[in-house]
Homo-oligomer: A and B are copies of this chain.
Amino acid sequence: MPQLKAKSLEMRTPQATKTAVLVIGGAEDKVHGREILRTFVSRSGASNAYITIIPSASREPSIIGGRYIRIFEEMGAQKVEILDIREREQCEDPYIQASLEACSGVFLTGGDQLRLCGVLADTPAMDIIRQRVRSGQLTLAGTSAGAAVMGHHMIAGGGSGESPNRSLVDMATGLGFIPEVIVDQHFHNRNRMVRLMSAIASHPDRLGIGIDEDTCAMFERDGWLQVLGKGSVTVVDPTEVTHTNEPHVGATDPLNLHNLRLHLLSHGDRYHLYQRTVLPAVYRISS
């Protein structure tokens, strides 16, 4: 049966692949089952996949890019290349643009999310990725810093170990692939619940998504996200909040947030971004 399944994946053309956006909490398994990275390759077209790796967040782009090249090649992708974009000007390079127009999967590595946004935001390369993701031609994955940039608002840094307050988190503008969400990564591993709640208090029109290490929130184009991997995806939903202190009060004053809704999701659980409904793994409709 597993062989049959693998074969049917191989026979799919990239056009028939169901694209998705994989938001990975960092430190994903690169050695053993590699479920998350395997799913990325599969959603990029499996043996027909043409994957580009953008390591711009990293200060060691060749090393980190090289590691992912080997992994994706081992998994049977047809073509894998690094787009070593270090300067904004490179985003106008016709070769890079042609690669982004032709590929079936883009992988954003970890590193520094501010650096990644600084290089990519508002560039022709970025426009190509966004437009092709939106129209279902391209599967996108980002891990760690590559996950942080997914929302319109981005967490650039922050603290832990104190009472929630608005000054606890530093916000910036992300790449906006999924503008509705504010992503936080290495989530429970680095005790980031408080900074995500603080971010959501200042942006109550967004949804907080905290993703643990070796865990992925995979967003489908129909609005469902599904959890893959070994940890939790935490959803912080401020829709029903009845009271919060105003942003103009002291930024270090403790935060009020009354009637926050919170979901701890794990492998196989689904959550609908627009309906705000949650579906346990046991009721999963196979796709």
List residues of chain A with CB under 8 Å of any chain B CB. Answer: 160-164, 188-191, 193-194, 197, 212, 215, 230-232, 242-243, 245, 253-267, 269, 278, 280-281
Contact = CB atoms under 8 A, between A and B. Distances in A.
A94 to B, nearest CB: 44
Contacts of A254: 212, 230-232, 264, 266-267
Nearest to A212: B163
A191 B191 CA distance: 6
Q: How many monomers of this chain does the complex have?
A: 2
Contacts of A190: 161
A192 B260 CA distance: 18
A197 B260 CA distance: 14
Residue from A191, A261, A269, A280 with most neighbouring chain B CB atoms (10 Å): A191
Contacts of A161: 188-191
A269 B265 CA distance: 30
A260 B262 contact: yes
Contact of A264 (B162, B164, B191, B281): B164
A110 B23 CA distance: 43
12 contacts: A161-B189, A161-B190, A161-B191, A232-B254, A243-B278, A253-B266, A254-B267, A257-B263, A258-B269, A259-B278, A260-B264, A261-B261
B264 A259 contact: no
A72 to B, nearest CB: 26
Contact of A261 (B197, B253, B255, B262): B262
A262 B255 CA distance: 13
A111 to B, nearest CB: 22
